[in-house]
A and B are shown apart, each in its own frame.
Chain A
Amino acid sequence: MATSSLEYIPEQQKSSPTHISSGQLPLDLHPPQTVEDDISGTQLGPDFPYYIFSEGNFLWKGCVRQPWQLMFCYLLQHVEALEILLQGLCGVQRERLRIHEICLKSGPHLGTVASEVRLLCDLEQSEPSWSVRHVGGAMRGAGAEQVSVLVRSMVESKTSKNALRLFYALGYKFDHELLRVGFSFNFYRGAQITVTVASINKMLKLHATDEAVPVTLGIQMVEVIAPATSENYTEVATAMSSFCEYLAPLLHLSKPGVSTGVVPTAAAAAAALMSDGGGTTL
C-alpha cells in the first residue's frame, strides 16, 4: 500500500507560544546530503509508488518501491479539539501511537558518502515491532519548481528485532532518537488517509523510552499521510488538500516563509468543538 503525507511547518509567530518555525522543529528534517539523491527528470514507471513529504507547502517524493508519504505537520495547542474534529470527519476509531525512532548515521570511512538510516520500534503493540526506514534527498530541478511542494524518497522495511544490533555491527553509529506519542486515524476520503497527532519526546537516558519528556512542552505534530503511485499522485494530493481544508478551523497549510499566522478563530473553534463534542459544524 502506498502512503502519501503532506508536511507543513508554519511560520513562527513570536507572540504565540503555539507556533514554532521550521528552524526550531525538533525533527531531523534537513536538506538532502548528496547530489545523487536528485531524482529530477527521472522517468518514473507505473510500478513505482512514491513518498511525498512536504515542508510547508512543499511535497517531497521519490521513486522507490514504497508508498508515498505526504506529511502534513503542524504544531498546535488544541489537540483535544483536533481529536474531536478528526473523529467526526473520519468516522473511524482512533488508534494509539507510541513509536520509538532511532536515527543512525554511517561511521567514518563507511560508504563513499555518509548515509543515514532510521529504526522505528512500535511500542504500542504487545510485542514491540521494528522497521527500518531510509529517507532520501529532495527532488530538484524543473519538475520540482513546478510543484508547490518538495519531494523526497522514502523506503521502509519491517524487520525482526535485531535491527539495531545489525546496523551497529555494520558500522552505523547512534545519532539521535525520539519518541512519538499520540494517536492516529486511518480512513478513506478520496485516498486512503492516515492522520497522526503526536508529541515529540526526547529520552534523557539512552533508549529510556519510559523516561521521555516532550521536546517542546504542549506542542503536538500533525501528519497527514495517504497512499499513492506515480500514476495517481496528483489526485491523491488533491484529495489530501481537500481533506486538510476541513482542518482549517484549527490549522492550515502554507508555504514556508509565507506567514499564515495562527488561525484567528482557532481558539474559538476549539472551544466550540470541546463544548459540544463535535456536534458543531465548522
Chain B
Amino acid sequence: MSIFSYNGAAVVAMAGKECVAIGSDLRFGVQTQTITCDTPKVFRIHDKLYLGLSGLLTDAQTLHEKLMFRHNLYKLREERDMKPSTFGHMLSNALYERRFGPYFAAPVVAGLEPDGTPFLCGMDTIGAMEKAKDFMITGTSPESLYGMCESMWRPDMEPDELFETVAQCLMSGFDRDALAGWGAVIHVITKDKVISRTLKTRMD
C-alpha cells in the first residue's frame, strides 16, 4: 500500500476575480478505517494565505507546524506577513532540503498577493513548484478532481460563484474516492475577509 494513500485526502484550490478559494475533505482514517470526520487538510498561515496538504497526515501536520514557526520568525524580523509567492518558494526549499528522506506530503498554496492578485501554486513531495492561474489540486484521487475542475472552472468568478464551483468539484471528486470525504470545509479569501463554510456531504 502506498504511503500517500495511508490516510487519504482531497484538496482543491481555485482562483477567481480578486479572490481565491481553497477547500478540503474532513476525513481522518487509517487505511480503510475511518476515525474522525472533523480533520481539515487546509491550514491558515495568515489572513491572506492558506496552505492545503495531502498525503501522510503526520507529515502534513509537522510540515504545517514547521512552516508556522518559520513564518512567525519572518513576521518578527520583517514586521509584516509573508507574501504568498515568497511562502511558496520557501516551502519548495524546505521540501527539497529533505530530498533523500522527504516529507510524504503534497502541498497546495492559495492566497492573495499584497496588490490583490490571486496566487496559486502546487508542489510534489520534494518541492517541484508549479504556479497556476486557474486551479490546483492534490489528494488520493487526482484524476477525479482534475476532471471536475477542468470542466467547471471559468475565469473571473465572483466569491459566491467560486465557492459553489469549488464545493461541487470537491464533492463530486471525492464521492468516487473511498479514502476521502465525510464532510468538507471551504475557505473563500477576499481582500477584506475570509468566509469559511463547512459542508454536509455523504458520510460513506
A binds B: no
